[in-house]
């Protein structure tokens, strides 16, 4: 199916690493013009070069702190000026530190809130300012299956991702009249193939930083599809939902791409 993403202007936050990297390459295969928003510009440049090799019409990196509205506004100005508008935004930036809630601190809460929620607010608000007068667009936020049924050691993160789900549904209702579609994709445990696919800021930067090989194997056994997720599994869902051609009547939805970890109708 032709997804009609050729030359469309796409912003991917956190596009230098793991899921974000795979999303960039997924759009590249469709010939999109891609702006990678990341703090790690060195890693972002490597992904941009690979995206160009894989078919992107254009690919560039803008150093961006999604928790800072001024930085986000600069990102959108540059993407708009260079790529002729903003057709798709993927709110991919996310971060967590696995801890039981009783071990967490208010400082950690604030960091998690800023990265996982305020960043989505900043980027979505700015995207709407461009998409509304332009006649439409797609906003896609990466959530988590921890938002749908809870997960030990992810109390704050899961709660924030649940907030993202609700926020995106509301934005979908408020902005459908402007032909702006808003959806979420919820990964389960999704692991890059190697540390080379991560950036300096990635929580997957160090091998076994999140789970041991034995724990990964145990997790895989619990899933109906019997394997851990790959970044491309999530990217495929994102690219599909971002396509007006393929998913133009889909908005306000929360889709799990998690090997069946959650099955919520």
Question: 12: which strand partners?
Answer: 36, 90
Contacts of 5 (CB under 8 A, 6+ apart): 27, 30, 31, 32, 88, 239, 242, 243
Enumerate the H helices of the chain as residue ranges.
Answer: 18-29, 41-53, 69-83, 106-113, 119-134, 146-149, 155-175, 213-222, 231-242, 244-247
- Between helices 18-29 and 41-53, what is the axis angle to 10°? 30
Angle among Cα 240, 245, 249 to the nearest 5 degrees reads 80
Q: Which residues pair with 141 in a beta bridge?
A: 91, 184
**Catalytic residue selected from 117, 157, 178, 261:** 157
User: For this structure, is 117 an active site residue?
Assistant: no
Which amino acids are annotated catalytic? 157
């Amino acid at each position: 199916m032709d997804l009609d993403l050729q030359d469309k202007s796409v912003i991917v936050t956190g596009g230098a690493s793991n899921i974000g990297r795979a999303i960039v390459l997924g759009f590249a295969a469709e010939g999109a013009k891609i702006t990678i928003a990341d703090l790690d510009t060195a890693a972002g440049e490597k992904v941009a070069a690979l995206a160009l090799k894989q078919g992107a019409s254009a690919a560039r990196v803008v150093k961006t702190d999604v928790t800072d509205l001024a930085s986000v506004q600069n990102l959108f100005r540059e993407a708009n000026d260079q790529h002729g508008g903003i057709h798709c935004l993927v709110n991919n930036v996310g971060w967590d530190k696995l801890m039981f809630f009783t071990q967490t601190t208010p400082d950690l809460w604030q960091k998690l809130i800023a990265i996982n929620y305020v960043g989505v607010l900043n980027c979505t608000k700015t995207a709407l300012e461009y998409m509304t007068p332009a006649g439409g667009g797609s906003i896609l936020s990466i959530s988590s299956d921890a938002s749908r049924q809870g997960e030990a050691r992810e109390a704050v993160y899961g709660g924030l991702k649940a907030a993202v789900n609700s926020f995106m549904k509301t934005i979908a209702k408020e902005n459908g009249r402007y032909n702006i579609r808003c959806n979420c994709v919820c990964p389960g445990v999704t692991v890059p193939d190697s540390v080379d696919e991560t950036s300096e800021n990635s929580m997957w930067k160090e091998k076994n930083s999140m789970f041991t090989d034995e724990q990964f194997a145990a997790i895989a056994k619990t899933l109906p599809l019997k394997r851990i997720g790959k970044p491309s599994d999530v990217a495929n869902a994102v690219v599909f939902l971002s396509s007006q051609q393929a998913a133009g009547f889909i908005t306000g939805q929360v889709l799990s791409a998690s090997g069946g970890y959650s099955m919520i109708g």
